Structures are given as structure tokens and as C-alpha cells.
Amino acid sequence: MIAMPHLRLPAVLDNLEKLISFISECAGKQGYSPAELRRIELAVEEVLVNICRYAYPAGTGDIEVNCKVGSDSSLIEIIDTGIPFDCSTETCPDIEANVCDRKLGGLGIFLVHKMVDKVAYRREGNKNILTLLYKPRGKC
Amino acid sequence: MNIEISRGDVVRITLKGRMDAVSSPDFDRALDELMSQGQRQFLLDLSNLEYISSAGLQSLLAAAKRLEQIEGIITLSNLNGAVLEVFQISGFDTLFPILDSRPE
């Protein structure tokens, strides 16, 4: 079995760019368009930011990203060992509210679900394992 | 993200690059400073903004909320590509006055 390309770094916002670039370069090698890459980057950023901000309330920990990209679909795994958190359920912000009523939070997970085709979560031991499945949809 | 500011009755702010969780606080600080100097009207040129995440959207919404309280306004212009897509999906395209918005 061939190991998926992976990168593991401390879960801090300073590492966001490195982690996202790793995934983006991995997908870029398959010839995904810039529009496809921005969608993947957005989904990955939202998950990573959540982990950096909330997974390790009592200290520090790592984030590991695994990337398996094919021309017809991509599988991205994002793993942390923080507190259990399942974001595989889609959130529904009120996208018709006005400036006054619109809430500041809750958009990140919503965007993850809009950008990728499938979001799956499992807890294995002390690990949160989130899997994003993305199927290229061409230019739009 | 690069932030260019051109002062006038309406402050024109040009954002270039990526507005993400790391760079959005730079925009917050720039706007804070301008508002503390009494500026109330802002025009954001997003023609060279290539990427925005929820952190960027939240910065823009927070700015709009603060400006609404003091009868200020933030207008966006030239959204395109990935930025326009994210605005449309999240309903942010109806939250702000938008000039020259066009599909790709």
C-alpha cells in the first residue's frame, strides 16, 4: 500500500499557509484549475482554522493533512488529537438576514459543505479524522 | 494580502491577494484606524482579491455593522471569480451595496 502524501505541523494559524499550500500543490499536480483549487483551499482553511482555535483549549497539539488526488476526485484527510468535534453536519446560517441581524459566526462549516462534495467524520482513539471528498466540476 | 488606501471624502481601499484567517486582522486594524480618524464612507475595490474565507467575510460584516451604527457605509466593487462565488453562496452579495459586480 502506498502512503498518502502527508504533512504534520503544530496547530497554529502561523502554519495555515504551509498546510493549505501542501494540499493545493498536491491537487495542482493533477491539473485542477485555479477555481477548483480555491474551493479546495477554502474548505481546508475553514477546517484548519477551527482546529487551531478550538481543538486544543488546554494546550497545544498538531494537525496532520493527508492528500490523495486523482483526476476525477480528491480525498483530503485532516487529523487532530484535540477534543472531539464533528463538523460533518451541515450548518445553516440565515443567508437572507440583513447586516443588523446577520450573525458573525457559523459561516466556516457552512462553506466547507458548500465547497466539497462529501464531509465525513470519525473518531479513532484520541483522533478526530475529517475526510473531505472533492470532485472537480469544471469552470463556473 | 496587500491593502492600499486612498483617502478622500470616500476612502477607497484596494485589497489584493488573499483575505483569510491570517490576513483579515490587518484589514480590521486598517479600518479601525480610518474610523478613529473620522472616516465613515468606504469603497472597497476587490478586483484583485483572488480568495476570501469566512474570516474575511466576518471582517467585512463586522465593519458593516459598526458603520451602520454611525451612519457610515461600506460599498464593494469588482467582485469576481472565487470571491464572487463565495459571496453568492453565503448570501453576502445581498448584504452590501455592490458596484460593477459581474460574472466571469
Region B24-42 average pLDDT = 97
B81–chain A nearest CA distance, Å: 7
Nearest CA in chain B to A53: B21
Write out the three cell numbers for A17. Answer: 499557509
More confident residue, B38 or A95: B38
Q: Which residue of A has its CA nearest to B21?
A: A49
pLDDT above 50 (res B104):
no
Best residue of A38, A96, A101, A140 to probe chain B, by most B CBs closer than 10 Å:
A38
Separation CA B43–CA B74 (nearest Å): 6
Residue B8 has pLDDT above 50, yes or no: yes
- Those residues whose C-beta lies under 8 Å from the C-beta of residue B22, and which sit 6 or more positions away, are A13, A14, A16, A17
- Burial class of residue B77 (count of CB atoms within 10 Å of its CB; 0-12, 13-18, 19+): middle
**What are the pLDDT digits (tens) for B75-102?**
999 999 999 999 999 999 999 999 975 5
pLDDT tens digits, chain A, 140 residues: what are they?
456 789 999 999 999 999 999 999 998 888 889 999 999 999 999 999 999 999 999 899 999 999 998 888 999 999 999 999 998 888 888 888 888 888 888 899 999 999 999 999 999 999 999 999 999 886 44
Facing residue for A107 by CB, picked from B20, B51, B57: B57
- Contact: B81, A108; criterion CB under 8 Å: no
From chain A, pick out residues whose CB is under 8 angstroms from the CB of B86. Answer: 42, 111
Q: What's the pLDDT score for residue A20? A: 97
- Measure the CA–CA gap between B44 and B69, rounded to whole angstroms: 19
- Domain segments of chain B as ranges: 2-99
User: What's residue A3's pLDDT?
Assistant: 64
Amino acid at A51: I
ipTM: 0.91
User: Between chains, do A16 and B21 touch, taking CB under 8 Å as contact?
Assistant: yes
Alpha helices (runs of H) in chain A, residue ranges in sequence order: 16-28, 34-50, 107-115
Pairing relationship of beta strands B11-19 and B41-52 according to DSSP bridges = parallel
Residues B42-60, mean pLDDT to the nearest whole number: 97
Q: Provide the CATH number for the domain formed by B2-99 in this structure.
A: 3.30.750.24
The closest of B97, B50, B52 to B75, measured between CA atoms, is B97
List chain A residues with CB under 8 Å of B50.
38
pLDDT at position A1 is: 47
Q: With CA atoms as reference, report the closest residue to A45 among A140, A135, A109.
A: A109
Query: Quick one: pLDDT at residue B12?
Result: 97
**Domain boundaries, given as residue ranges, for chain A:** 6-134
pLDDT of B103 > 60? The answer is no
Domain A6-134, CATH? 3.30.565.10
- Quote the radius of gyration of chain A (alpha carbons, Å): 15
